[in-house]
Structure 1
C-alpha cells in the first residue's frame, strides 16, 4: 500500500523529473505527496562566525552570508516549481543535518524519492546506508513508470525483501523479468512459486558474463529496476567496486530499493 510519499530535494538541476514522478504516483495510487528540503547547518561548522567568543575574519562571515543567500534563492525557486504540482504547504523546509532530519521524517512515509546521479553524492550515500523505508531513485531527465519491471536478482534475501516491498507497494504491476548472472547453480524456486500464485508474470533469465554489463544493457528494455539494499556494499566501498554500486551509478532507469 502506498499512502504517503516524501520527495527529497537537494541541489538537483532538474527537479521536475522528481515532481513528475510524484504526480504520476499520486494519480495512479491516490497517494499524498510531500517534499523535503533541509538547510544543512553543518556549513556553520565549516565556517563558524565565531570561535570561542572571538570573531572570525570578515571574509568567513561574508562567505556564510553568501551561502545563506544562495540557499534562500534555491528554496524560493523550489517553491515556485513545487506549487505547479502540489500544494506549496506540502513542501517541508527545515534546518538541521539532512540525514538526521530525513531519518525522523521516514517514520511518517511509505516511500522516499530522490535523484539518482551518475556519481553518488555524500547525502545519497547517507540515505542508502541508513534508510529503513523503501527508496526510489530517479535519474536526471527521467520520470517513473512501473509497467515493465526488471529484477537484478542475486538470489539473496536482500533482493527478495526489495521485491516483496515493491509488490506490496505497486500491486498493480504484473510484468516482471528476473535477471541472474553467473548464478545457475543456485535456485530460488520458492520465489517463482510465489509470483505464480500471486498472479504475476515472471520471465526468468539465467545468464553468464559480466553482471554490470549484462544488467545495464537489459535494463534499457524496462521501466524500473529492483535491487537489494546496498548497506553492506558501502562497507566494502574502499576495497572494491561492488556490482550494486556500479549499477547505481550506471543504470539509466529508475531504481527501487526495498
Structure 2
C-alpha cells in the first residue's frame, strides 16, 4: 500500500485537492493521511492596536474553525474515512515525522510561493506534488530537464512510484540547453520509454512560449531547486519561474 500525505490550509480549493487525491487512489492505490495546518499568524498578539487582538482575533479564529468543518464535510462527501489530523502552525520539519511512513506529499500552492512550500523544498526527503489550478491526472505528462542530477532523480522516483503508468513517450522540454549529451533520455530508454525533446532557447523563443508548451500538459516533472535558489530569487532561475508560472500540477522527486 502506498500513502500520500495531503496538506490542507485555510481557503484551499478543496475540490481541486480531493479530486486529485481520487486520481491517485483510483489509478495507483494510494491511501490518504489528511492533515490540516492551522494558521497561527493571527494568534500571535503583538499589540492591542493590531488586528491580532480583541474581536478581530475571535473572528479570524471562528472563520478558520468554519473552514475546518468544510474540510471534514468534504472528506465525507468524497467517501474518505480517514480522520482529519489538525495541527497548529507546525513547520515542515515537524511534518517530516509523518513523511517517514508515507511515499508522497501533496499540497496546493497559489501564485506566490508560501514559506511552508519553500521549507518543504529545502528539507523534504519524499517526492512532492504541487497543485496549481488544474486537477492532477496522468494522461499527458512532460519533463522539464536541464539534464541535472535533481531532475534525473525526480524522473527516477516518479517512474518507481507510478510503475503501472500506461505511457510510451515522454516529451522533454528544455530551456537554453546546449549539451550534445542528454543522459536523462538514456534513463528513459532503459526504463522502456521513448522521449521527444522540445528545445526552447532565449535566442529564438520567449519564456512565455516555454510556459505555454509546459501548460499544455497534465503534469510536469522537474527537479528540486538548489539550496542557493532560496537566497537568489532575483536571478530568475528556470525552476523558480516554473513554480510561479505553471498552472499545471508539478511533481518534484
Which TM-score bucket, shorter chain as reference? 0.7 to 0.9
1:130 deviation in Å?
A: 2.4
What's the counterpart of residue 2 of structure 2?
3
The answer to whether the 8 Å contact 1:113/1:138 transfers is: yes
Q: What is the Cα deviation at residue 11 of structure 1?
A: 2.3
Task: Give the corresponding residue for 2:45.
Answer: 47
Q: Deviations over 1:54-84 (max 9, x none)?
A: xx78982433333322221111111111211
Cα offset for 1:180? 1.7
TM-score (normalizing by structure 2): 0.87
Question: 1:145 aligns to what?
Answer: 137
Pick the aligned partner of 2:242 from 226, 238, 247: 247
Deviations 1:174-198 (A, max 9, x none): 2311122222235224x32332232
- Quote the RMSD (CA, aligned, Å): 2.4
- CA deviations on 1:121-165 (whole Å, 9 max, x unpaired) are 22222222322211101113x111112221111111011111111
C-alpha separation between the residues in 1 aligned to 2:149 and 2:163? 20
Confirm whether residue 79 of structure 1 aligns to residue 72 of structure 2.
Answer: yes
**Structure 2: gaps spanning 5 or more residues:** none
Gap runs ≥5 in structure 1: 50-55
Q: Residue 53 of structure 2: SS of its match in structure 1?
A: helix
Aligned length: 247
* Distance (Å, rounded) in 2 between the aligned partners of 1:231 and 1:185: 20
Closer, same or farther: CA 203–75 of 1 in aligned 2, 3 Å = same
Using the size of structure 1 for normalisation, the TM-score is 0.85
Change (3 A) 1:200 1:170: same
Question: Residue 184 of structure 1 aligns with which residue?
Answer: 178
Q: Which residue is equivalent to 2:162?
A: 170
Alignment partner of 1:34 is 2:33: yes
